[in-house]
Amino acid sequence: MIKKLNIFFGILLATNAWSNEQTMPVEGLSCSADDPDKLVELWSLDSRSKTVSYWSRNDFKFREFPTKRFDQKIIAWEQQSDFNLVYVLDRTTMRQSGTKLFIDKNGGLNIEKRWVSQCQILTLELLNKLIE
């Protein structure tokens, strides 16, 4: 019985290690909103550090943001500045929802804008070509 359990766990660990190797630690992400005036946004997803980086066309560099959740189903993160942007990417449907929040003069949190984008995963090589 113990020998069978050891074989089972050995197969389980080998299968899990193989599936982890199939997932790229850093991937690119391209998202375009339903709004035709909105530019395509480029992101870098790092599953090791659980961070998301946004390609800033103004500075020509990535800006890194920690995630609130990073798993096989959902990636959620927040960008904080004069206002807050909250993003949630559903990795099953590859749809990203974005919400722009601001704090009013009474300290209340208000939604200024919401949008939905369709996204696709990019190889790191393709992402690098797009930002060159």
More confident residue, 64 or 36: 64
Query: What are the pLDDT digits (tens) for 60-107?
Result: 999 999 999 999 999 999 988 778 999 999 999 999 999 999 888 888
- Which tokens is 114 given? 């919401």
Residue with tokens 């790191």: 124
- Cα 82-85-91 angle, rounded to 5 deg: 160
**Per-residue pLDDT, 35:** 67
CA distance 95 to 31: 8
Q: Is the pLDDT reported for residue 17 higher than 50? A: no
| Mean pLDDT for the chain overall | 81
Cβ atoms of residues 116 and 31 within 8 Å: no
Domain chopping of the chain, boundaries: 24-131
**Per-residue pLDDT, 40:** 86
Give the 3-state secondary structure of the chain: CHHHHHHHHHHHHHHHHHHHHHCCCEEEEEEEECCCCCCCEEEEEECCCCEEEEEECCCCEEEEEEEEEECCCEEEEEEECCCEEEEEEECCCCEEEEEEEEECCCCCEEEEEEEEEEEEEECHHHHHHHHC
More confident residue, 60 or 36: 60
